[in-house]
Amino acid sequence: MKLASAYAPHLRENDDVRKVMIDVLIALSPAVVGAAYFFGWYALFLCVSGALLGELFDIFVMRYLRGIKEFVPDGSGAVTGLLLAMNVSTRLPFWAFLVGLVFALGLGKHAFGGLGQNVFNPALVGRAFLLISFPTYMTTWVVPGAGFWKSPADVMTAATPLALFKEHGVITSYWDLFIGNVGGSLGETSALLLLVGFLYLLLRKRVKIFIPISYIGTVFLFSSIAYLVNPRFGDPLFHILSGGLMLGALFMATDMVTSPITAKGQLIFGVGCGVLTMAIRLFGAYPEGVSFSILFMNALVPLIDRYTRPRIFGEVKE
């Protein structure tokens, strides 16, 4: 019997990027179906075209411009395109969405060196760009349930639950918040469908629970204290179910590339996201703070990883 030696890693799995991205797309599909049900054909069109065009642009345009001759799809562009679509209003014109998609993949991903090298979540980079460039389109929300085939331009507009509460003190029905029968970005409204998708990722062992638990837990604790101090800040359940918190905590903050590696680091990351989200919601001019809090914490990931990585046995601390 011969003893064969080889370089690490010695334990291997039959996994690759494409399989992981396919699982993420499957996990997001319940929320896509919900978006189509509540906001109509244009919501479905944005999601499907975002995934398809995101992958095509990622493979054939950005890789060609960077001189990469390998044009094998890995699904990462499709995930970015779909997540960007889920973070916009159905009042956003398709041409503006395409501009945001190009910006997300070009500057948010490939400017840093491509998949695995980007510092910030590309879909959130695209959303931030669209929010700054086209604020009217991005903050005009339609009333859900107007009919599948009805044009978004013909649908009545309404404020999001967070805006209604911040401006008028109106609390939206918790049931409507849970199932998604409220105004908002087309993929963020249904907490129920997002939880179903996230459960699939957990069963497939694609994500860990540390970031969502620490993120949502911090929002719960922060909002509970604020509510006890002054009820006008809103109760914890309202803050958890409203806005983009569920989408952000379950699918955006958990991005493998832009989140910490260690469990301790992921807990710190989630707490930071939760504190910043509530600080913006309660004391900022903008009613929502999920996107900006995640982007800010993305920038701190290298620092978090540096101070939370486990020490190698025998390593001398400098």
Identify the band that residue 111 occupies on the pLDDT scale cut at 50, 70 and 90.
confident
pTM: 0.89
Domains of the chain: 15-306 (1.10.3430)
Query: How high is the pLDDT of residue 103?
Result: 94
- Mean pLDDT, residues 306-311: 85
Residue (of 290, 277, 282) closest to 166 by Cα position: 282
Full DSSP string of 250-264 = IIITT-TTTS-SSHH
Token code pair at residue 187: 């993929």
- 208-211 — which CB contacts under 8 Å span 24+ positions? 208/254, 208/263, 208/266, 210/263, 210/266, 210/267, 210/270, 211/249, 211/253, 211/254, 211/259, 211/266, 211/267, 211/269, 211/270, 211/273
pLDDT digits (tens, 9 = 90+) for 4-38: 665 555 556 677 788 999 999 999 999 999 999 99
Going by the DSSP 8-state scheme, the letter that residue 59 receives in this structure is I
Across the chain, what does the average pLDDT equal?
A: 87
Token code pair at residue 14: 């039959």
Angle value at C-alpha 294, between 204 and 285, nearest 5 degrees: 140
- Neighbouring C-beta atoms of residue 240, cutoff 10 Å: 20
| Helix intervals (H) in 58-139 | 63-65, 76-85, 94-106, 122-133, 135-138
Cα 69 from Cα 206, distance rounded (Å): 29
pLDDT at 276 over 70: yes
Query: How high is the pLDDT of residue 59?
Result: 84
Query: How high is the pLDDT of residue 74?
Result: 85
- Mean pLDDT, residues 131-137: 92
Identify the band that residue 315 occupies on the pLDDT scale cut at 50, 70 and 90.
low
pLDDT digits (tens, 9 = 90+) for 215-271: 999 999 999 999 999 988 889 999 999 989 999 999 999 999 999 999 999 999 999
Query: How high is the pLDDT of residue 33?
Result: 94
Going by the DSSP 8-state scheme, the letter that residue 106 receives in this structure is H
- Poorest-confidence range of 79-83, 157-161, 212-216? 157-161
- Neighbouring C-beta atoms of residue 3, cutoff 10 Å: 4
| Maximum average pLDDT range among 56-60, 147-151, 264-268 | 264-268
Identify the band that residue 184 occupies on the pLDDT scale cut at 50, 70 and 90.
confident
